[in-house]
Structure 1
Amino acid sequence: MSRFVVPDEQDGQRLDVVVAGLLDVSRSRAAARLAAGDVTLAGRPAGKQQRVRAGQTVEVRAAAPAAAPPAPPPLPPVRYQDAHLLVVAKPAGMVVHPGHGRPHGTLVDALRGAGVPLAAVGGDERPGIVHRLDRDTSGLLVVAKTDAAHAGLVSALKRRQVARRYLAVVQGVPPNRRGRVEAPLARAPGDRTRFAVRADGKPAVTRYVVLDDVAAGGSGQHVAALACALETGRTHQIRVHLAALGHPILADTTYRGSATLAERLGVSRIALHAGRLAFVHPITGVEVAVDEPLPDDLAALRDRLGLRIPTGWWEAIDHGAAGATAVTDATDTADAEEGPS
């Protein structure tokens, strides 16, 4: 308990102003303490607008100790590391950095908890973060330890010199076994958490190759495994582009994915995996190429469905003729990662 006697020079001032000065906090914080009943004036509870009188006693109850933040999650497997950067295999379910509704339990927390030095670029919430993966997308992510590495990686991304390859399992089978989706993306009207193909959006290009397709467990519907490559890096790009083609990713209910089919096939998260990451090291100039096998849940899905996915599946997207081009209409399709932060 803090006790304070109002001096002559503060006679007539509002109580919240006096308390703010006493505690060296903002007026809003002082008002919150008053509203919580932590402050009395002359032995009685008082409102923030009450005027004090010289000689009155202001008492402030000690604030409850702030709850300790939860322990950081374990660091995901590190697939490459040196003094400048590291590549981790993010599990599905882990958010990359703190944000609205997810202040703790992120990849950034895991990196800090493990004592990994991080580039200051990005501020306190996104230190070292160069690009993101959605929460339910698994796979490879590069993190910068130094500002120089961060600047070099961001520049390489903008110049499309970072190869990012994804494995997606989708509903149905695209009519073209090899295609290129070129469709601008913007936030969906009325829902800023979703994106849509829109004429006023930013340019976005995704290439894909159908690796295999099978009938989905007696449902009469087929599913297909696709190798996908980003030519641009817009948020939710692969998810929106494939949904706009009429082939949403399994379990992606945000973008037209069937919850019924996902449940029937035992898919509990978006069937999308970042399995290949390759770039020229921004400091040493050496090529870095990292591959990540399918995690257990997607490997089990592959086996249940009998999908034939070759070990080096990403090579299918990097070789062969350009094939057919699939360009979606640039219209408002709000119901139609991954990208840099």
Structure 2
Amino acid sequence: MRPPPKTKAEPKPVTLSPDEIALVRSLVIYEDPHILALNKPAGLSSQGGRGQVHTLDELLWAFAKPGKARPRLIHRLDRDTSGVILTAKTKPAAGFLGKAMMAHRFSKTYRAIVTPGAPDPTGGTVEVPLRRDESGREAFMRVCPPDHPDAETAKTRYRTLSSNAFAALLELSPDTGRMHQLRVHLASIMRPISGDARYGGALAVGGQPVPRLMLHAGALSFPHPEGGTRRIEAPTPPDMAAVLTAIGLAEP
């Protein structure tokens, strides 16, 4: 989970269709005077998407009050990752949450379907440095030695929730927020995420086609601007739940 890039000025309002407004409003899973949390579907870019399709950042104009700014993204999720994404409704809330995230006070929990079967050991930590590698307009992350000049520290904790002979459902907790971190770390222990063609993930599991990257941001805990800690959860999306059922993996 990464912070969105800083912008120098508030972008101009975006005109949205009634269907787009209805869509983004249907994604809301929590709201109070300070924050707005949504359950982002897979396939929707958080920010900076290409083409004519609006990004989630642009769809947030559906919540803007007349003459006021729209909610601000506090972090991003990869386009093909579903789950909890947090926005701030005011500048003070954005500043507070941004500082809290940079101080590593956010706790993120993901779920992923991997193959083949459970990792060995079934729970543990992957702490392997990563580096960015670009090919044309595409960017990748690669594992690398700690002394590589472009190495970035990266740490992921994982545990197996359920498994069978050919797949497993894992719970993932990243301690750092590098691009594609979970995807590359799991591939590095020979358990790539299903549907992740970029990093070697299977496109079918147990004869069941996988429709997309099987990675879901299921929960987010963070300090709230009014005090205390909030935990927001997003239910497993139907497409991922259908794959779990089809391949016989139980979801706790």
Q: Which TM class, normalised by the smaller chain length?
A: 0.7 to 0.9
Instruction: List per-residue Cα deviations over 1:215-235 (Å, max 9, x = no partner).
Output: 3xxxxxx11100000101111
> Structure 1 residues 112, 226: closer, same or farther in 2, change over 3 A?
same
Q: Is the 8 A contact 2:130 2:142 kept in 1?
A: yes
1:275 pairs with one of 218, 235, 238: 218
2: distance between equivalents of 1:305 and 1:262? 7
Equivalent residue for 1:246?
A: 190
2: distance between equivalents of 1:263 and 1:305? 6
Equivalent residue for 2:36?
A: 86
Q: Shift of the alpha carbon at 1:160?
A: 1.7
| Structure 2 unmatched ranges of 5 or more | 1-13
> Structure 1 residues 165, 116: closer, same or farther in 2, change over 3 A?
farther
Q: Is the 8 A contact 1:251 1:262 kept in 2?
A: no
Matched positions, count: 229
1:265 pairs with one of 201, 208, 217: 208
2: distance between equivalents of 1:116 and 1:134? 28
- Listed as ranges, the matches of 1:1-341 within 5 Å are 71=17, 73=20, 74-75=23-24, 76-99=26-49, 101-102=50-51, 104-115=53-64, 128-172=72-116, 173-188=118-133, 190=135, 192-199=138-145, 200-215=150-165, 222-259=166-203, 261=204, 264-281=207-224, 283-310=225-252
In structure 1, the residue corresponding to 2:110 is in which secondary structure? strand
- Bigger relative contact order, structure 1 or 2 (CA pairs below 8 A, ≥6 apart): 2
Q: Is the 8 A contact 2:154 2:177 kept in 1?
A: yes
Q: Is the 8 A contact 1:131 1:142 kept in 2?
A: yes
1: distance between equivalents of 2:185 and 2:248? 25
Amino acid at match of 1:276: A
> Structure 1 residues 131, 116: closer, same or farther in 2, change over 3 A?
farther
Instruction: List per-residue Cα deviations over 1:41-97 (Å, max 9, x = no partner).
Output: xxxxxxxxxxxxxxxxxxxxxxxxxxx977372214211112221110001111112
Q: Shift of the alpha carbon at 1:103?
A: 5.1
Q: Is the 8 A contact 2:193 2:202 kept in 1?
A: no
Q: Shift of the alpha carbon at 1:114?
A: 3.8
CA RMSD of aligned residues (A): 2.5
Report the TM-score, using the length of structure 2 for normalisation.
0.82
Which one has a bigger Cα radius of gyration? 1
Query: How many percent of aligned residue pairs carry the same amino acid?
Result: 37
Task: Provide runs of 4+ in structure 1 moved above 4 Å.
Answer: none
Instruction: Answer 1 or 2: which has greater strand percent.
Output: 2
